[in-house]
A = this chain, B = another copy of it.
């Protein structure tokens, strides 16, 4: 049976995101069909290499493909220009040419960074994304965003490089720590919140099965989230308009995450960002009353008590956010659960002072 998939439109042609349990054994055939590269550079962090990278390598070699594994230390702290340089230099040293392909096997850090390696290697070679976390399956592997972090914030250096193929094998989620499952599912709830209330409610109903990484429940969620993201990204690859709604929770979330020096997890930070931005929307009269409260239950159930943070440390990161335009800080607001607000081009300029207040009040309440 052909596994379900979503086709994503992109300037570099359309590509397929295949979703379902047990897809990895078929990876060699999928690579040959989608890319047909002469050599494959498999990139994983050292954790995922042990769990899946070596197994993938074995399968590729058994299928007669020329493949080499490159690893880097696990963790967001590795998502740097330095790691990117080292991986690039290793591939150059090994003589990979333009007919090579990068295969990113891992979470969002890996898919983002390996994507950036591919985007800039000899000015761009193909990349196939093999996400192994909910976050990477749901979020990082669709849309072609690649990049690394800098001191000034997350993902500030990067490129758009749509993958040639995405293989989301939901069986591998069983190897994902429960906490990371929760962190990733925050993005699924976000998709429900901005676009699809029935999906939000289905996620609530399937909560335990999703947290247990049940293959079918996971495939259902990943597929719907990928559909939502593909629909939004396909309409607006360069993030000038509607694609911004995917940033719901992220203006404040990224700032809080960066201010914590990434000690607060991405999911927790975004969950908090979503609640704060819902509160902001309600205060501004844009978001239906009660929306924040409606979001809070599943989000707190996912990520636990919301993290403490230093509001003053977060403020400078608001200004360095990529969403800053014409010097204004822009925030995506909801109209109601399941519907983003059209605003002024799908986001609204919010004065820094108002955001600073919001952060201060939220921090004081913890």
Contacts and interface: CB of A to CB of B under 8 A. Distances in A.
A311 to B, nearest CB: 19
Given A152-B89, A327-B97, A322 B157 contact: no
Contact of A123 (B160, B320, B326): B160
Contacts of A156: 88, 92, 121-122
B120 A152 contact: no
Given A120-B159, A145-B123, A158-B123, A152 B322 contact: no
Contact of A97 (B157, B160, B322): B322
Contacts of A97: 322, 324-327
Contacts of A325: 38, 97-99
A85 interface: yes
B92 A152 contact: yes
A132 to B, nearest CB: 23
B157 A88 contact: yes
A324 B95 contact: yes
A52 interface: no
A151 B119 CA distance: 19
The binding surface of chain A is classed by DSSP as mixed
A147 B119 CA distance: 12
Interface in A88-112: 88-89, 92-93, 95, 97-99
A149 to B, nearest CB: 11
Contact of A320 (B11, B38, B92, B158): B92
Contact of A326 (B11, B38, B157): B38
A150 interface: yes
A9 interface: no
A319 interface: yes
Contacts of A11: 11
Interface in A196-245: none
Contacts of A157: 88, 120-122
A21 B319 CA distance: 41
A152 B160 CA distance: 25
A120 B120 contact: yes
A114 to B, nearest CB: 15
A158 B121 CA distance: 7
Contacts of A324: 95, 97-98
A174 interface: no
B150 A92 contact: yes
Contacts of A147: 120, 123
Interface in A144-178: 145-147, 150-153, 155-160
A158 B120 contact: yes
Contact of A124 (B95, B98, B160, B320): B160
Given A123-B160, A157-B120, A327 B38 contact: yes
Nearest to A95: B319
Nearest to A319: B95
A147 B320 CA distance: 25
A253 to B, nearest CB: 17
A99 B349 CA distance: 14
B93 A152 contact: yes
21 contacts: A11-B11, A88-B156, A88-B157, A92-B153, A92-B156, A92-B320, A93-B152, A95-B319, A95-B320, A95-B324, A97-B322, A97-B327, A99-B325, A119-B159, A120-B120, A121-B157, A122-B156, A122-B157, A123-B155, A123-B159, A123-B160
Q: Which A-B residue pairs are the 3 nearest by beta carbons? A: A92-B152, A97-B324, A123-B158
